[in-house]
Amino acid sequence: MESSLPSTQILDSGESAERKNEAKNYNEMMSTLPKAKGLRGNDYYLYQGFWYSSFFLEGLMSVQEHFNPQSTDIFVASSPKTGTTWLKALAFAVLTRSRLSGSTTSSLLIKMPHDCVPFLEFQVAQNPRIRDLAVPLLSTHVPYSCLPKSIISSSCKIIYICRDAKDTFVSLWCFFSAHQMSKNVEPLPLEEAFEMFCNGISILGPYWDHVLGYWRASLEFPEKILFLTYEEMKKDTAAHAKKLAEFMDCSFTLEEEEEGEVQKIISMCSFEKLSRLEVNKNGKLHLDTSIAIQNSLYFRKGEIGDWANHLTPEMGARIDDIMEQKLKGSGLKLPR
Ligand code: PAP
């Protein structure tokens, strides 16, 4: 059976006062950083080479200062909209499968993947006790070079996913536009957001630097960092589920394979299955205590190449050219 540890615990008043004080210091520090307009019309701040929203940056500064991983922790890392939700579901299902034998209830059926595998810089930064220590899985959108030193110097493993830049941009824009519209706020025009993305200004951008940071680290520490792409994972999900299991030191046994365990996990984590669950249709995610995001926004189409329905061929070619130029000499070629 899965752990019944409470998923949330309230901070005591001392901790809460300390957090408020820290937030004040972080806000003072933010006021000194270069700024740009973000996709939600909010400010983005340039910190250690990447663009962050204030809420994100506050969380990052806090974990850079305080977070200590367990040596067995495994992080699902990604730039936003590159397949995080899917990878979290797969990694969680693969890692917790032995606890589920005999049970038909996976947390994934009743909790959004982001609530099964909490974000370091959001949920964990706000309340370190939120995590279920029995499941050594956390996630992060933080670029490799900005990760807390305690993670870099640990034996923790990292599974990184990235995606074609055009689909990533379109997914980002659709997500923020839908979120804005749900609050009756006019979204940023696509052309404006596109221009920003091409100039490296997007949440956690420049996108290419995010990808390159993890790519280079995966070449240097292949036993610690597994580098995946959304497109390859779509092409052969079974091979990826097995690769994930092997990397997390919980390979599928022959018996499990013969019993169709891999296929069961793939089906449970599929876009079709997850997007139709009540929790993902009507539930809400609270990454920020003041903002609730509809879970359904994390399940839009789940297709490769949808960019062509939103961008002109010229816009597509521009992103491809930028990516080619930026990735040149790195040995990385992203699938399109
Ligand atoms: P996040 O970084 O904000 O958590 P993330 O999960 O990385 O978002 O990206 C969402 C994309 O993954 C969406 O792509 P789209 O906009 O092109 O449709 C979403 O549809 C897709 N997605 C979510 N769940 C799955 C899944 N189970 N299988 C495949 N794609 C999925």
The predicted pLDDT at position 11 comes to: 52
Q: Which of 183-187, 260-264, 302-306 has the lowest mean pLDDT?
A: 183-187
Mutate to test the pocket of ligand 1, among 139, 171, 311 (most ligand atoms within 8 A of CB): 171
What are residue 161's DSSP bridge partners? Answer: 78, 228
CA of 300 to the centre of ligand 1 (A): 7
Q: How far is the CA of 115 from the centre of ligand 1 (A)?
A: 15
* pLDDT(4) > 80: no
The answer on pLDDT for 160 being more than 90 is yes
CB 274 less than 6 A from any atom of ligand 1: yes
Residue of 141, 179, 210, 310 marked active site? 141
The 10s digit of each residue's pLDDT in 134-159 is 899 999 999 999 999 999 999 999 99
pLDDT at 185: 87
Closest protein CA for atom 26 of ligand 1: 271
Query: Does the pLDDT at position 208 exceed 90?
Result: yes
Task: Determine if ligand 1 sits within 6 Å of the CB of residue 85.
Answer: yes
pLDDT at 137: 97
Interval between CA 87 and ligand 1 midpoint (Å): 9
Which residue has the least CA distance to atom 28 on ligand 1? 271
At 101-137, the pLDDT tens digits run: 545 458 999 999 999 999 999 999 988 888 888 899 9
Of all protein residues, whose CA lies closest to atom 9 belonging to ligand 1? 81
- Asked if 167 contacts 306 with a C-beta cutoff of 8 angstroms, the reply is yes
CA dihedral 249, 142, 269, 302 (to 10 degrees): -140
Q: Give the side-chain half-sphere CA count within 13 A for 9.
A: 11
Q: Is 301 in the pocket of ligand 1 (CB under 6 A)?
A: yes
**CA separation for the pair 132, 130 (Å, rounded):** 7
Average pLDDT estimate for 37-60:
92
Higher pLDDT, 126 or 250: 250
Q: Is the CB of 80 under 6 A from ligand 1?
A: yes
Average pLDDT in the chain: 91
Average pLDDT over residues 250-255: 96
Residue (of 180, 76, 139, 161) closest to 287 by Cα position: 139
In the chain, the domains with their CATH numbers are: 21-327 (3.40.50.300)
Q: Active site includes 310?
A: no
Tokens linked to 232: 């390859």
Q: Give residue 5's pLDDT.
A: 31
Ligand 1 atom at minimal distance to the Cα of residue 88: 6
Cβ atoms of residues 29 and 61 within 8 Å: yes
The answer on pLDDT for 267 being more than 70 is yes
Task: Let me know: does 112 contact 279? Beta carbons within 8 Å.
Answer: yes
Q: Buried b / exposed e across 25-50, counting CB within 10 Å, b at 16+?
A: ebeeebeebeeeebbbeeebbbbeeb
> How far, in Å, is the centroid of ligand 1 from the Cα of 318?
23
Residue 80 Cα: closest atom of ligand 1: 2
Cα of 233 from ligand 1 centre, angstroms = 12
